Chains A and B, each alone.
Chain A
Amino acid sequence: MKKLLALSLVLLLAIPFVAMAESAEPIKIGIFEPLTGSKAAGGEMEYRGIQVAHALVPEVLGRPIELVPVDNKSDDVEAATAASRLVEAEKVDIVIGSWGSSLCIAAGPSFEKAQTPAIGTSCTNPQVTLGNEYYFRVCYLDDFQGTLLANYAKTNLGAKTAAIICDISNVYAIGLRNYFLEAFGEENIVAEAYFNTGDQEFSAQITAVMDKNPDVIFMPSDFTEPGLIMKQARDLGYADILFLGGDTWETEAIIDIGGAAVEACRFTTFFDADAEPSEESAVFLAKYEEMFGGKPKSSVTALGYDAYMAAVKAIEAAGTTDGPAVQAALCALTFDGVTGRIAFDGNGDAIKNKAIIKTVEEGAFKYIDTVVIE
């Protein structure tokens, strides 16, 4: 029995060598996303966008494109290994991903060393592309977003004071908090409270913050906790306070979790089909509907789509899959994506000057405003 077991274990481990031999010469695009673990939802939604784009443009330079997903398990150590696997073992030509800045930061050195360009999707932390020539991204950054939200609160909402409830264990949230604080003026922040990713009980933080009577509450965090916070705040009787958040909020889970409590909150996002109906977004939405049904659950799906298109267009422009050539092509690239016109600056960050403000109305996301920063 034991021998049989040992033998079957060995056989199982040997299968990959047999299964490896398959078709030849495709262009390989590595998908570096958290497909399992705590960030799986974000990874899944971005992967869908990439799949939609792949279905629409399945080949470039006359060669078929193959998607090579490698799960980074929402874990930084795994992410570094996964990145190394993508460039060394799978020998992909270009990489797309990931949701979660810390995963990208762990992966960056591998991509740079192998001279494989990587296009980040929704990793908004400045550290991702800083000092790494091969990391690009199609989203805007925390400083842009934080500043924009602060200005929006002051000018458009007429807020004089604000409170912050921040996820202290989340890089993205901390970044947003700081830029918001800077732009809004530290003296105008009347109260601050913190929580950790995965917390479920916030009434103490809400009460403490509301004691100071802020005009708005800014809540940088991922997408699961804010729904609970808003719900608990309404349950505690704070019916009128306005909640403000970042791009992660555009996830249907927030409406499912918060229910009526999330109505009228405001957040920034990258893309809205109603705001600027373009050909690109119509095609994207139609294909998405066909493949997955309904509308994308989050704008990061659109970012995944744009990242794929950027990759394909760069390879097309370079005329080769050679890493440095594609990198140079990306630097020079300008194209109209679903989330607007995309071009990369010297850091590899997408140059964007506008963001979309959305709210929730009757259980659905609704476009409110487009804000431009010069």
Chain B
Amino acid sequence: MAEKKFTGVAARMTPRRGRDLTLSCAAIAAILLFTHFAMQGFILDAYLVRILNMCATYAILGLSMNLVNGFTGLFSLGQAGFMAVGAYVTTILFLSPEAKGALFYLKPMEPFLQAIQLPFWLSLLVAGLVSALAAFLIGFPCLRLRGDYLAIATLGFSEIIRVLFTNMQTVTNGAVGLKGIPPVVNLWWSFGIMALVIVFIRRLMRTSYGRAFKAIRDDEVAAESMGISLFKHKMMSFVLSGFIAGLGGGLIASIVGSINPLQFRFILSYDILMIVVLGGMGSVSGTVVAAFLITAAKEWLRWLDNGFSLGLFRVPAIAGMRMVVFSVLLMLVILFYRQGLSGGKEFSWQALIDFLGKPARRDLKREEGGKKT
């Protein structure tokens, strides 16, 4: 995953660190090469590219939620609302005035908004900032609340945002939504932003702010008595999360190509929460892996919908079978991997080598670890 920092410690580099660094570089190079060729259309068709884009975007959204829920210990369910803000701001700023004119056929758009047109990267950035602002405004009253109450209040705000967007005909085009968003998001965009977010969060967690977040998560009262300003740090985490969710929403708008308020129902926040928890709260690599697994598995299981033969007898096509099996798989993972797939740990090359090479020793180690806790 992220490269190891070796400023000034190069001298102290152990053989293991050297190996990890080499492996990381090799992995990143492989991903870059793969992306490059995929972009040329050599390896993947548009369908797989779309799925990979969605995977990366969900990873970004998962990370934004993990920052608040996993690292800071706040239980927030408002992600869908921030995504809606991000998606709408990106789209409104990015679409050409002519395109917007054609879309707003029921009531004309606010002339001021219709005239604006920005390049995609700037639209996305502004979208992130507006989402962050929304998070700031929502955070002001909400962050005084504790635990589940915070979750419900943020969920409530995300639904209020959706209802507002449904009714703001001259700004958002209401229920009709916006379409024709150019598909500028390619693998470089989605994976690039994902990589930036990963590096950013990992760096952030090593700063004093990150440590303050973790302290708040582990024990609020103790953190406060250590002189950590609860409100300031909570707000910071919340606003950053809003910013990243806004970016994710903007990416989704461009990948899907059309948006409307119903896409951003509260159920969407549940989906993202599921990624965070299955990946392991407070684990960056876990979230990324879970986002890829869940998004891909949903698509993968499509063969269940169409009927299939199991040796002797043929299972008839039953629409919706896919989602039933998906939910059952989900339940199994929930029940048997309580700490999430990553067990709350971060990815490391050592763990991977152990996993592949010496399964027996790994089990032994886990048992020892289990006894200790």
Contacts and interface: CB of A to CB of B under 8 A. Distances in A.
Interface string B239-260: 0000000000000100111111
9 shortest interchain CB distances as A-B pairs: A88-B47, A35-B319, A36-B320, A16-B303, A88-B45, A80-B256, A84-B47, A19-B308, A89-B47
- Contact residues of A: prevailing secondary structure: helix
Contacts, number: 128
A81 B260 contact: no
A90 to B, nearest CB: 9
A174 B261 CA distance: 14
Interface string B12-25: 00000000000000
Most buried by B among A13, A20, A127: A127
A168 B166 CA distance: 7
Contacts of A175: 106, 176
A106 interface: yes
Interface in A1-42: 1-2, 5, 9, 12-13, 15-16, 19-20, 35-36, 40
B309 to A, nearest CB: 7
A170 B46 contact: no
A156 interface: no
B370 to A, nearest CB: 13
A80 B106 CA distance: 25
Nearest to B325: A12
19 contacts: A1-B336, A2-B337, A13-B300, A71-B319, A71-B320, A80-B255, A84-B46, A85-B47, A85-B299, A89-B45, A106-B258, A108-B179, A110-B46, A127-B176, A127-B179, A168-B166, A168-B167, A169-B261, A174-B106
Nearest to B105: A126
Interface residues of A, number: 51
A68 B47 contact: no
B10 interface: no
Interface in B259-303: 259-263, 297, 299-303
Contact of B306 (A36, A68, A126, A196): A68
B106 A84 contact: no
Contacts of B51: 81
A75 interface: yes
B171 interface: no
A150 interface: no
Given A13-B300, A19-B309, A168 B46 contact: no
B50 interface: yes
Contacts of B167: 168
Contacts of A170: 175
Interface string B316-352: 0101101101000100100011000000000000000
A77 interface: yes
Interface of B: 45-48, 50-51, 54, 102-103, 105-106, 166-167, 174-177, 179-180, 183, 252, 255-263, 297, 299-303, 305-306, 308-309, 317, 319-320, 322-323, 325, 329, 332, 336-337
Given A71-B305, A168-B174, A36 B323 contact: yes
Nearest to A86: B47
Given A35-B305, A76-B263, A81-B51, A174 B175 contact: yes
A174 B258 contact: no
A1 B335 CA distance: 12
Contacts of A73: 323
Interface in A196-240: 196
A131 interface: yes
A108 B181 CA distance: 12
Contacts of B45: 88-89
B257 A80 contact: yes
Most buried by A among B50, B256, B300: B256
Most buried by B among A19, A73, A196: A19
Contacts of A87: 46-47
A113 interface: yes
A178 interface: yes
A75 B263 CA distance: 7
Contacts of B302: 70-71, 85
A35 B320 contact: yes
A69 B176 contact: no
A30 to B, nearest CB: 12
Interface in A247-278: none
A130 interface: yes
Nearest to B263: A76
A177 to B, nearest CB: 9
A19 B315 CA distance: 12
A88 B322 contact: no
Contacts of A300: none
Contacts of B329: 9, 12
